[in-house]
Structure 1
Amino acid sequence: MSQWEKIQLGDICQKANRLEAPVMGQPYRQLGVRLWGEGAYERETIDGGDTKYAFLNKIEADDLVVNKIWARNGSIAVANPNQAGTYVSAEFPTYQLDVTLIEPRWMRLITKWRGFWSACDEKAQGTSGKNRIKPEQFLSIQIPLPSLTEQQTIVACMDQLADKVRQVNEHLDAAETDAGNLLAVQFREAIKNAPSRKMSEVAPLVRREQTIELEGNYPELGIRSFGKGTFHKPPLSGSEVGTKRLFRIEPGDLMFSNVFAWEGAIAIAKPEDSGRFGSHRFITCKANREIATAEFLRYFFLTETGLEMVGKASPGGAGRNRTLGLEKLMALEVPIPSLAIQREFNLLQNKIAELKAKHAKIREANQALIPATLERVFQ
């Protein structure tokens, strides 16, 4: 980039004024712009009588669209052909690129570059109204501009790289889908002809209520929905806990969120969760080691059948809150094969979990590849 010319945006684009007064009864497709260079997207269509704006600006393919408030956070995009015919308000200044000087796909790469976001942030600093960036400030930002041929060559290379990243992610997704299907088949085989036992027998309720001291420190634990495991909450001081009851969590506990268990807020406490606390909304169970394993039970409760059972034991409430009753949970009957079968299934679960952990690292590296390459290109 050191040999590339730097030019101001105002030299390669001009304001696109295709203003239309909205008409009541006429539909208008709206365009939005995501943060951090994630591009434009089509929002809901509105009736012309439902907008507060006197004018809307019509978008054409390859327009440069800027969110005045959030440009400093990368909310700038180049519209694609499918977004032609959408509309934006005055909060989204729009510019037509001079395609004799700049390849629209090059500008699209620029919008994904951290250096460009930083430049927008600098221009927005100190302005009024939530740090809006003014058009003249935006157009004064300098960007690297090689020849059209170089732009097109680099864009083609970046497209190839993005395609490779997509292919890798698709391969990982397919492998995980196959692994999940294998696990489901093995589980069905494991519980075939298995006797059913009540939860009160296989994993009874455990309560380890904590005495709250005013000067104490109590880090909390949370449970994500959809079987996504646990997460750590900030610690509470004794005074912040107040009259709230807290219960100590130990590794291996099978935990249910009593208001969101019906949507998969079910997890096993990990070793790193030791020393944390759950509120009265946590239902904590301890698997009877002579009969069951927590890992096998967790898998069952996250199956379609298991979630249906939990749902029936969770009467409806306001919004998504549906409270799982303690007695109803303890009365649920679950299939319990021999410990040997459960442990064999758990080994397969662990292997697939290890596979997903490796995939997560690959995905993380993949996610960083494009931004890192852009930094090298533009720096």
Structure 2
Amino acid sequence: MTEADTCREFVTPKLVEAGSMPLPSLAEQRGLVGRIDALTEKARQVEAHLDAVERDAASLVRSYITHPQGEPPTKRRMSELVSLRQPDVAVDGTARYRFAGVYSFGRGVFPSAVKMGSEFAYERLSTLRTGDFTYPKLMAWEGALGVVPPECDGMV
């Protein structure tokens, strides 16, 4: 017997027509509301932490482009911060690919064009995932780098 079957047996048409249904005790209802409130607060805390992580990641990316006036830039090898991932998509000339673009000067990643595989020369592409750090090879010199936002997840 499935949960749906149990509900159908418990909530009969006769009970609905009568306009009354048995409810959990008031103490049990209050307990359920308390649990829902606690879970709602936990979800709010998780959202706040995720927002903070995203802000910190964006600040980190920007800090590698600019630094406070009068202070020497802190230099780090990129290999200390990120690891290179090999392209994971073999381009098919008959397939469509949704590209993400990267604004210069650390202004982020954005949804860009959809192109057929026959429209560009790359043989392999990399799939972007939310939270990835990315930069285009040709524009990195002008600070075209960013963290992939959720709306660009799965693009190349």
**Shorter-normalised TM range:** 0.3 to 0.5
Q: Which has the higher contact order (CA 8 A, sep 6+)?
A: 2
Q: TM-score, normalised by structure 1?
A: 0.21
Q: Which has the larger radius of gyration?
A: 1
The structure carrying a bigger strand percent of its residues is 1
